Amino acid sequence: MDVPLPGRAARGCTSLAATSALLAVLAGTALATAPVLDEAKLVDLTYTFDEKTIYWPTEDGFHLEQGPRGLTAQGYFYSANRLSTAEHGGTHMDAPIHFAQGKLTADQVPLAALVGPAVVVDVSAAASSDRDYRLRVDDLERWEAKYGRIPDGAIVLMRSGWGRFWPDKLQYLGTDQKGDVANLHFPGFSKEAAEWLVTNRTIDAIGVDTPSIDHGQSKDFMVHQIVNGANKPGFENVANLDRLPEFGATMIALPMKIGGGSGGPARIIAVLP
């Protein structure tokens, strides 16, 4: 039989109390330092997918086929639909393989390339007077003169103000005729700006509030070739860029993880500073 020495029980109780107190302090510290997301700082950068969603003129658009909807024989409500859509329409991602053979498919684009500092380059004044405006290197240099070097891992977003036209196809695209790619007029990145970004800065992706990272009248889609060729994705038809500051927000893009896909619909949000 183990007979406790005098004071042993007291020391054990003291040790137990001290341990409990330490755990409580550590737990309190963990709770105090746990990140808290301010939901008021979330901005939805995604257009709803429905019959009004704008697609490239050669595509059929978004189709939702309603399935069963209503009360079941067992008394509970049930709804299930079917959808069909092209990869490239509405708010979506262009995976690198879209214009670059052998590069990353939609499911291979790493999460690190889908999350990053949102660098918003505002060209809305220039675009308002030129529907075919192309974001230039000096637009990027002006941004850097104001905010500093574009951070590594940034997602560079062109803000042209085109969101004000959504979902008016004629205003947004330049044409509302199915198959008409000759009369597309909207801003995009210039070849020179795309080359400058992938050569001189360590960006993760680029994005636009227009139908394409190339301007509407592009025939060779050189910006796609350059950016996708550098194994970087692009984001198109990004909504609500007018609600973001030029610097300080974080963008999070979650496209459908389509195996072997060249892109796909995306839910994109931003967290304001």
Indicate whether 81 belongs to any domain: no
Give the SS3 label for residue 66: coil
Confidence of residue 108 (pLDDT cuts 50, 70, 90): very high
On average, the pLDDT of the chain sits at: 91
Quote the percentage of the chain above a pLDDT of 90.
86
List the beta bridge partners of residue 236: 92
- CA-nearest of 89, 66, 85, 68 to 212 is 89
Indicate whether 165 belongs to any domain: yes
Each residue's pLDDT tens digit, 208-239? 999 999 999 999 999 999 999 999 999 999 99
CATH code where residue 246 lies: 3.50.30.50
Q: Is the per-residue pLDDT at 6 higher than 90?
A: no
Indicate whether 250 belongs to any domain: yes
**pLDDT for the residue 36:** 82
Each residue's pLDDT tens digit, 43-57? 999 999 999 999 999
**pLDDT for the residue 8:** 39
Q: Is the per-residue pLDDT at 28 higher than 80?
A: no
- Asked if residues 91 and 251 have their Cβ atoms less than 8 Å apart, the reply is no
Indicate whether 36 belongs to any domain: no
pTM for the whole thing?
Answer: 0.86
Each residue's pLDDT tens digit, 237-257? 999 999 999 999 999 999 999
The domain tally of the chain equals 1
Range of the domain at 175: 42-60+87-271
